[in-house]
Amino acid sequence: MDTTDITPTLLRSWPLPMPQPDGDKEVRGHLLIVAGSAEMPGAIVLAATAALRAGAGKLTLATGASVAAQVAIAMPEARVIGLDETAQGGFRHEAQHQLAPLAGKVDAVLVGPGMCDTAASCELMRHLLPLFANSRLILDACAMQVVRKPAHFRFDQPVLLTPHAGELAQLMGLSKDAVLADPHACATDAARRWNAIVALKGALTVIAMPDGTTWTHAGGNIGLAISGSGDTLAGIITGLAARGAPLEQACAWGIALHALAGEQLALRFGILGYLAREIPAEIPALLRNLAA
């Protein structure tokens, strides 16, 4: 199967959108992150920090009302909206009404990191899809479960899904071993089936488009296999998308930046032991170097 390797040379030939020097925070991009829970409030903080480090200008966060105040303190750069929660710690689908005023006003939306209550998350996701149809939409973690019902689910317009092998196996009704045995075929099949861009994360990451176009990336190190790492990756991608990058470009750049950040951190701390919260701080310098 023909595919394109994501390398520094490729990225330099595919430059990210850059705001004009006299632009304001709106020009740099407004993003919304719907994420977190009482059990995992840190997920939205990790994703939000990474999104701002990737260059986005304006940030709105929506998380559980029970932890909204703590998230606001942890992310003083953000507007924080507290959403009504279910007994299982998810967000009620009525939260769509709290988010509706942002429709048409945000450039990119990330949904999923740290969310609980799969059933509630899917119900909310079904309401958010038409609401943010004109924004670049990234689904991670729990939010990706929306593709499981109905059985022949398809997005009206491509969104980006960011599963690891275990998640894609569950979404497709396969074994994890089957996905690992042929990641290209599985990612491509999923992209066509759901009309989505699918980034199958791993030591070898495969990005598949609905038309069969694929990119692959090999890099990083085992240190990136740590709690919160996926949240930072989703945040990096969303920050780049908010700046105006198409989803496939934001994803390719985000995957590469995340891996390179792991390599830089390994030089300082060793391959094991650095933290997901340390990844975002590496991104601005890496962006500068790749733009050189």
Q: What are residue 138's DSSP bridge partners?
A: 110, 160
More confident call, 21 vs 119:
119
42: annotated binding-site residue?
Answer: no
Query: Cα 266 vs. chain centroid, distance in angstroms?
Result: 23
* pLDDT score of 20: 79
What is the average pLDDT across 127-137? 97
pTM of the shown model = 0.97
Indicate if the pLDDT at residue 145 is higher than 70: yes
Contact 207, 247 (CB under 8 A): no
Work out whether the CA dihedral 275, 278, 279, 285 comes out positive or negative: negative
Predicted local distance difference test score (pLDDT) of residue 2: 79
Does residue 110 come out as left (phi exceeding 0), alpha (psi in the -120 to 50 range) or beta?
Answer: beta
Say if residue 231 carries a ligand binding annotation: yes
Q: Per the annotation, does 164 bind a ligand?
A: yes
pLDDT score at 1: 62
Confidence of residue 72 (pLDDT cuts 50, 70, 90): very high
**pLDDT exceeds 80 at position 292:** no
234 annotated among ligand-binding-site residues: no
Q: Does residue 118 have a known ligand-binding role?
A: no
Residue 230 is assigned to a ligand binding site = yes
Six-digit token pair at 280? 């975002």
User: What is the tens place of the pLDDT at every residue in 102-112?
Assistant: 999 999 999 99
DSSP class per residue in 182-226:
-HHHHHHHHHHHHT-EEEEBSSEEEEE-TTS-EEEEE---GGG-S
